[in-house]
Structure 1
Amino acid sequence: MEKENQIFGIRAIIEAINAKKEIDKVFIQKDAQGDLMQELMRTMKKNNINFSYVPVEKLNKLTSNNHQGAVATIAPISFSNLETLIEKLLDSGKKPLLLILDQLSDARNFGAIIRTAECTGVDGIIIQKQGAAPVNGDTVKTSAGAVFNVPICKVDHIKDAVFYLQGSGIKTVAATEKTDQNIYDINFNEPVAIIMGSEDRGVNPSVLKIVDEKAKLPMFGTIESLNVSVACGAFLYEAVRQRL
């Protein structure tokens, strides 16, 4: 982790959150106690900051400074507001192509997806504040810098984003093997948001219930699953093919 992209110490992290810095994630020592730590926990929950409990060894590896049981990473980008982005896209007369990542947790997969998204003209990527892959040095590197060119929106809940997009006239299509419909049966030549799930669980069942369409990639091998960034590339390039 790049040292300039981290904050250590409980009070410093509280101040950064209150100052509305783009905090990507906070790592908290598993057994940390004390009034100041309780204040940090309250501040994070109030501001919906992504955090996880880690062993002290992980914190010691992140920084040689006195971290007091907490280290935060600052996102190297500024996030976009979903409503503002959608209004702008619709006002411009564009046919939006959006990507929703439902709890994707691997930074390198995230970076690879951003890179493909940039190459295929994706207008915006939507991720959830809690549980999503961090936007860190690995993400920037794997995306080959594309992370600076594609708007990324953080939302409280993926389901709310789906409802908002549907209300704005944008069709939602979930990538899932739990359907008889394959990718080539779907019309991508209209305003559309493609939803990719996490590496291990796929798209959340509660999200699958509310999407407009579900689609799978035809599989002929014995493994019957693709890396999520590869699957995402196949979906995006089918959208490109139809739109050309």
Structure 2
Amino acid sequence: MENRKRSGLGRSSEGGFRKPEGGSQGGAKKRYFAKPTPPGFEKASKPDIVFGVQSVLETLKGTKEIEKILLQRDFGHNEVEKLAFERGIPVQRVPLEKLNRVTMKVHQGVIAFVSAVNYAKISNVVADVFEKGEVPLLLVLDRITDVRNFGAIARTAECAGVNAIVVAARGAAQINADAMKTSSGALNHLPVCRENSLWQVISELQQSGIQIVACTEKATEELYNIDFSIPTAILMGSEEDGISENLLEQADYSTKIPMVGKIGSLNVSVATGVILYEAVRQRNK
């Protein structure tokens, strides 16, 4: 009798033995369910990547925009590096472990991150805006690296009628599926210009008669005292340390958003919205 109890078998009303309810011998089977995603949290989208030497080479020879290329640190491929240099695509040398974290498939020491948008040239955008008889309103982003911040900025910029966003080829947020989603599709309509030198871009914009207005906590002038009705490029910096010093010195004006609360700064996407809509207010008078 002890053996029967130990095995989980009991006597049925028909005189035989029956298994315990709800499972097989040894007890009921456990069922495992995925935990629900907590509210406010979303899984990040997988980046659009191309891997393997031949695949990356063909992508470099094509028309797709590439954000950056990761090369295994102790692996060199002259043709990949040459084509990337010619197209102004950043190449980062990284350990094998980092490549394996991106994909465990056979990457052969090279991975390319494909952009979700096609980039425009800022010179072409400016020429087109002037030809249409419009007053340019541009946004220059210095080292905005958070993808969701970038997406939120793009959404506001498109709604505010910004003609283009300018970012640096290096040190800027990757424009991937997350950026597209956060922008609510704005990046499908708003030109993004990826340039090698923001300093050079600012200089060229100034030569075209476009004023550069830097938004920084270091400024003494409040944004309501700036004339945004004329051709303007608004310069925003990273949340960590703001606008680079050389770009700040290059700007025509520096301005700040007045703060009356105890917290002395705004999120960069919120700050961008505030200054853009002051420009909209002035232009719609």
1:33 equivalent to 2:74? Answer yes
Identity %: 41
Q: Give 3-state SS (helix, strand or coil) of 1:209's partner.
A: helix
The residue type paired with residue 140 of structure 1 is: M
- Please point out which of 134, 137, 153 is paired with 1:113: 153
Kindly name which structure, 1 or 2, has the bigger radius of gyration based on alpha carbons.
2
Show CA shifts across 1:55-81 (max 9, x none): 544433432311122221111211111
Q: Relative to structure 2, which stretch is displaced further, 225-234 or 41-50?
A: 41-50
Q: Distance in 2 between matches of 1:194 and 1:235?
A: 8
Counterpart-to-counterpart distance in 2, 1:42 and 1:216: 43
The DSSP-based 3-state class of the residue aligned with 1:221 is coil
Cα distance between partner residues in 2 of 1:66 and 1:115: 37
Aligned-CA RMSD value: 1.8
Q: Which has the higher contact order (CA 8 A, sep 6+)?
A: 1
Equivalent residues of 1:100, 1:196 under 8 A apart: yes
Counterparts of 1:42-121 in structure 2, within 5 Å, are: 42-121=82-161
Amino acid at match of 2:266: L
Which structure is higher in helix share?
1
Aligned residue-pair number: 240
Q: Is the 8 A contact 1:111 1:143 kept in 2?
A: yes
TM-score, scaled relative to structure 1: 0.91
Q: CA deviation at 1:132?
A: 1.1
On the 8 A contact 2:142/2:167 being kept in 1, the answer is: yes
For structure 1, list consecutive stretches of 5 or more residues without a partner in the other structure.
none
Ranges of 4+ aligned residues in structure 1 off by more than 4 Å:
none
Aligned to 1:233: 273
Q: Distance in 2 between matches of 1:89 and 1:224?
A: 36
With normalisation by structure 2, the TM-score equals 0.78
| CA distance in 2 between partners of 1:90 and 1:155 (Å) | 20
Indicate which of 6, 13, 16 corresponds to 2:59: 16
Matches within 5 A, 1:147-226: 147-226=187-266
Q: 1:200: how far off? A: 0.9
